[in-house]
Structure 1
Amino acid sequence: MRQTIPTLLFGLAALTSTVVHAERADAAGFAMRLPGTWSNSSLGLLSDSGGTARIAIKGFEGVEGYVMDVTSQEDNAPDLLNWGQSGFAFDVRDGYRINTMTLTGTLTGVLSPGIPSAGGTIGVVSNEFIMGRFELAGQSISMGQRTLENVHGDEQIQLNAGMPFEGDFTMLLHNRVYNSAESGSSYWYDGDEAEVTTYYQSYASVHWHDVVLTVQVSPVPEPATYAMLLGGLGIAGFAARRHKV
Structure 2
Amino acid sequence: MELISTNGGNQYTIGLHGAETAALAVESDGAGGTDARWSYNRSRFNLEVTPGYFIHNLSLEVSYTGKIAAELPTPCTSSCEATDYAYSQANVGWAMTRGSTTTALPGGSVFYVDGTVTTRYVAPQSYVTDFDIALMMDAAVNARRTLLDVNDWGTPHYGTSTAELQMRDVRLIMTVSQVPEPATYAMLLAGLALVGAGVRRRRG
Task: Bin the TM-score by the shorter chain.
Answer: 0.7 to 0.9
Determine the structure 2 residue equivalent to 1:104.
61
Letter in 2 for 1:78: D
Deviations 1:73-111 (A, max 9, x none): 3xxx11112221221101100101111211223222211
CA pair 47-122 structure 1, distance change in 2 beyond 3 A: closer
Counterparts of 1:111 and 1:94 in 2: how far apart (Å)?
49
Q: What secondary structure sits across from 1:45 in the alignment?
A: strand
Q: What secondary structure sits across from 1:164 in the alignment?
A: coil
After TM superposition, list the pairs within 5 Å mapping 1:31-180 onto structure 2: 42-47=1-6, 49-70=8-29, 71-73=31-33, 77-115=34-72, 124-137=85-98, 138-143=101-106, 145-180=107-142
Q: 1:182 aligns with which of 136, 144, 147?
A: 144
Checking the alignment, whether the CA contact within 8 Å between 1:132 and 1:174 is kept in structure 2 is yes
Checking the alignment, whether the CA contact within 8 Å between 1:67 and 1:203 is kept in structure 2 is yes
* Stretch moving more, 52-61 or 150-159: 52-61
Cα RMSD over matched residues?
A: 3.1
Letter in 2 for 1:45: I
Q: Which of 1 and 2 has greater Rg?
A: 1
Q: 2:156 aligns with which of 197, 204, 213?
A: 197
The runs of 4+ residues in structure 1 deviating greater than 4 Å are: 116-119
More relative contact order, 1 or 2 (CA 8 Å, 6+ apart): 2
Determine the structure 1 residue equivalent to 2:166.
207
Letter in 2 for 1:155: V
Checking the alignment, whether the CA contact within 8 Å between 1:106 and 1:156 is kept in structure 2 is yes
Aligned residues: 183
Checking the alignment, whether the CA contact within 8 Å between 1:187 and 1:197 is kept in structure 2 is yes
TM-score (norm 2): 0.75
Checking the alignment, whether the CA contact within 8 Å between 1:46 and 1:56 is kept in structure 2 is no
Identity of aligned residues (%): 20
| Deviation, structure 1 residue 128 | 1.1
* Stretch moving more, 201-210 or 89-98: 201-210
Structure 1: any 5+ residue segments left out of the alignment?
1-41, 238-245
Q: What secondary structure sits across from 1:163 in the alignment?
A: coil
CA pair 44-217 structure 1, distance change in 2 beyond 3 A: closer
Counterparts of 2:158 and 2:86 in 1: how far apart (Å)?
14
Q: What secondary structure sits across from 2:86 in the alignment?
A: strand
TM-score (norm 1): 0.64
Checking the alignment, whether the CA contact within 8 Å between 1:122 and 1:184 is kept in structure 2 is no
Q: What secondary structure sits across from 2:134 in the alignment?
A: strand
Structure 2: any 5+ residue segments left out of the alignment?
195-204
Q: What secondary structure sits across from 2:20 in the alignment?
A: helix
